[in-house]
Structure 1
Amino acid sequence: MAASKPPSPAISPPSLSFPRATFAKLSPHPFLLAHLQPPTPPSANTTPPHRPNGRLPTQFRPPNLHTGSLTHASGSSVVRLGDTAVVCGIRAEILPASNVGCAYTCGGSDDDTEIQALGLLVPNVELSTGCSPAHLPGQPPSPLAQTLAARLQSLLYATNLIGADELRIMYVSPPADDAGEGGGAEEVKAWWTLYIDILFISLDGNPFDAAWASLLLALKDTRLPLAYWDPDLACVLCDDLVANAKRLRMRRWPVASTFAVYSAQERGSVGGDGAGKWILADPDAFEEGLCRESVTVVVDCEEAEGGGVKTRIVRLEKRGGGSAGKAEIKEVVEMATERWRVWRDVLKGNA
């Protein structure tokens, strides 16, 4: 009698679930919606709405920063927001008045239009190869880099961070006679031109906030040599002593906060936004690709009595979509004010 065969082990059916990374690539919109929209009806184990990166919709990425990283720059900074990392270096050069083509005299007033007219603040943005999969080697400057540079320059001029007197190199003529009479007139002989180079070494969403923060910190770190006009040589000379160098005086500290508006209605589908929408603070690259609309708020707050702050909106930019109304704008301004508090504490700790 033949021996019976042992029973074959039971074969479990293949799993129909995907890993998180695969689900996010195959169906990115439902993947994000599944995190933000709790099940109906809610159960006792329902987690609050959160994002795939673990943050709440209103939660920003904590800033990490360092200043003075570049030895051969007048000022520098490194800012990291999550996986977005940017380096900013400032190079100061002298612009002689003879190259401008017109004479300037100083009457004691601070002409803010002088900086813009002479182009004394020149930001440049570069998205380095490898900062994200979208930037390949050998490519010309991307539209994103050009747009960021234009937005940064516009905001620099609008906020008047630095007074024109900080960049002027003055000369006071000596007395005309032995009695000490005559002369004493102030004349602008040159200006400092600040070339602000911003390099992204890693880009995971929200490039403008990171670039603006690095610019602010690099300006705060900038030291300019003591420059003076030598009438005998008819040129501007600089003192070699580092102790005589001066720091730039910053007038204010406006902070930029960007928000993305995510709608449960997929992009390109028929229908309105009645299914729900969420405001995502400090969006990463995955969230930016799924949101139709973004809002950037730049606030410059002042500390008030009793521990409060007085909010002043410097700039408000809204791009794409049309679902963010007055209520949403009010909400993002309040969150931007709280973000200003965070940066205030960070800057004090870095002082």
Structure 2
Amino acid sequence: MAAAKTPNPAASPPSLSFPRATFAKLSPHPFLLAHLQPSTPDTPVRRPNGRAPSQFRVPQKHAGSLSHASGSAVVRLGDTAVVCGVRGEILLASNVGSGAGNDSDGEVQALGLLVPNVELSTGCSPAHLPGQPPSPLAQTLASRLQTLLHTANLIGADELRITYTPPVAVSDDDAGASGESPATAVAPKKEEVKAWWTLYIDVLFISLDGNPFDSAWASILAALADTRLPHAYWDPDRSCILCDDAIANSRSLRMQKLPVASTFAVYSTKHGAGRRGGEEDSNAGAGAPSKWALADPDAFEEGLCRESLTVVVDCLEGAAPTIVMLEKHGGAAVGGGEIKELIRMSTERWRVWRDLLKGNP
């Protein structure tokens, strides 16, 4: 019979530590708080993804990705990747009814000429499986994107109108009085709106790792900047709209503004693991911050933050930034002073997107 094996006292004990991914799943709030409140004052504050609280992800853009769309673009923010395609269709004025074609500022919204659609159920994340009905997040994103398209007045009605000015022949008496021949003496009538371009904007998430609104909106801006519409005109002989096949005669869309969205997730110790009997974490020093505004949050951070704020700004050269939209959801940790700082950070972020969308180095 073999002798029993005695334990080796010199052998190292089994490790009791967990990998980072396991610790993040078991105790997500302490895991995030340990990064935001390092144990030593000399340690820089770094989020679990390695970024500082005010640091955004580096954006990437590739335009013209879809060959059968009027315009398209792929935008990537870290592990969040979105593809957007723009498809133009013609809406006849005869199908709209009387009163259409006025010069009101709300013509684009009233006629529904900009139609965004968001698709998330492509397996882009474990929460969105293929074959599922549209999720509440997809419907909410589509509604927010449509509101911003109209609020920002991104595409003017003049860019989408298809007009026709019919000439009228002048009588022989009038032509003789003006010294012109009857063949050349014509006077234009009032310009008529015969149709509009309707832009169907489809946003498809390939991968989702947080901050879907900023990435979806950026993909729309990039796709619209890449959009070219064929030359469409009214043929009075056929009484229909015709499109020129020549690419040289097509035209690009002219965007009136360049609003850029920046989203921040607010993490507070009152909402996390530091909540102990209604008081904040006692381990946090008296001078230690109890809330952080995390720029461009990822999916892990979004799941731990109850409050978020989205700032959409548009900047003109040499002018103060214009706040196109400001949305705040959940909680009241962020006050007026913090919002001013977030607006300043959003202005700097606008310059990054401007250079990227316009192709500047």
Tell me, yes or no, whether TM beats 0.5: yes
Distance 1:6 1:201, change over 3 A: closer
Counterpart in the other structure of 1:237: 242
Whether 1:173 aligns to 2:166 is yes
Q: CA deviation at 1:7?
A: 8.6
Distance 1:223 1:213 in 2: 18
In 1: Cα distance, 2:193 partner to 2:6 partner: 100
Task: Identify the residue that residue 280 of structure 1 maps to in structure 2.
Answer: 294
The equivalent residue for 2:177 is none
Report the 3-state secondary structure (helix = DSSP H, G, I; strand = E; otherwise coil) of the residue aligned with 1:302.
Answer: coil
Residue identity in the other structure for 1:319: H
* Code of the aligned partner of 1:271: G
- Number of matched residues? 337
Aligned residue number for residue 291 of structure 1: 305
Residues 258, 283 of structure 1: 8 Å contact kept: yes
Match of 1:216 in 2: 221
The one-letter amino acid paired with 2:66 is: L
Find the counterpart in structure 2 of residue 64 from structure 1.
60
Q: Which amino acid aligns with 1:293?
A: E
Q: 2:196 aligns with which of 183, 191, 197?
A: 191
Match of 1:16 in 2: 16
* Match among 234, 252, 255 for residue 250 of structure 1: 255
- Write the mapping of 1:1-351 to structure 2, written as runs, cut at 5 A: 8=8, 10-39=10-39, 42=41, 46-104=42-100, 111-177=104-170, 178=182, 180-267=185-272, 269=275, 270-271=277-278, 276-304=290-318, 310-349=320-359
Aligned partners of 1:104 and 1:187 also within 8 Å: no
Whole-Å Cα distance in 2 between the matches of residues 326 and 272 of structure 1? 24
Point out where structure 2 has 5 or more consecutive residues left out of the alignment: 171-181, 285-289
Q: Is contact 2:257-2:314 (8 Å) kept?
A: yes
> C-alpha separation between the residues in 2 aligned to 1:232 and 1:350?
46
Shift in Å, 1:13? 2.2
Residue 174 of structure 1: CA displacement?
Answer: 1.5
Identify if the C-alpha distance between structure 1 residues 297 and 228 changes in structure 2 by more than 3 Å, giving closer, same or farther.
Answer: same
Structure 1 residues 6, 166: CA separation in 2 closer, same or farther (over 3 Å shift)?
closer
| TM-score of the pair, normalised by structure 1 | 0.91
Q: 1:292, 1:346 → 2: CA distance?
A: 31
Corresponding letter in the other structure for 2:213: F
Report runs of 4+ in structure 1 exceeding 6 Å deviation.
none
CA contact (8 A) 1:267 1:292 kept: no
Q: Output the CA distance in 2 between the equivalents of 1:204 and 1:7.
A: 48
Letter in 1 for 2:163: M
SS in structure 2 of the partner of residue 265 of structure 1: helix
Q: Which whole-Å CA distance do the structure 1 matches of 2:257 and 2:19 have between them?
A: 47
CA deviations over 1:172-208 (Å, ceiling 9, x no partner): 1022333624443210000000000000000000000
Q: In 2, Cα distance between the equivalents of 1:169 and 1:340?
A: 33
RMSD: 2.1
* Structure-2 separation of matches of 1:49 and 1:321: 24
C-alpha separation in 2, matches of 1:287 and 1:133: 16
Pair 7,218 (structure 1): closer, same or farther in 2 beyond 3 Å:
closer
For 1:48-92, what per-residue CA distance to the aligned partner results, in whole angstroms no more than 9, with x for missing partners?
A: 111011000000000000101100000000000000000000000
**Aligned equivalents of 1:273 and 1:322: distance in 2?**
16
Shift of 1:259: 0.1
Q: What whole-Å deviation, never above 9, does each CA across 1:250-302 have from its counterpart, x for those lacking one?
A: 11101000000011234494536686111100000000000110000000111
Q: Which runs of 5+ in 1 are unaligned?
A: none
Letter paired with 1:83? D
Q: Does structure 1 conserve the Cα–Cα contact (< 8 Å) formed by 2:29 and 2:272?
A: no
Distance 1:7 1:249, change over 3 A: closer
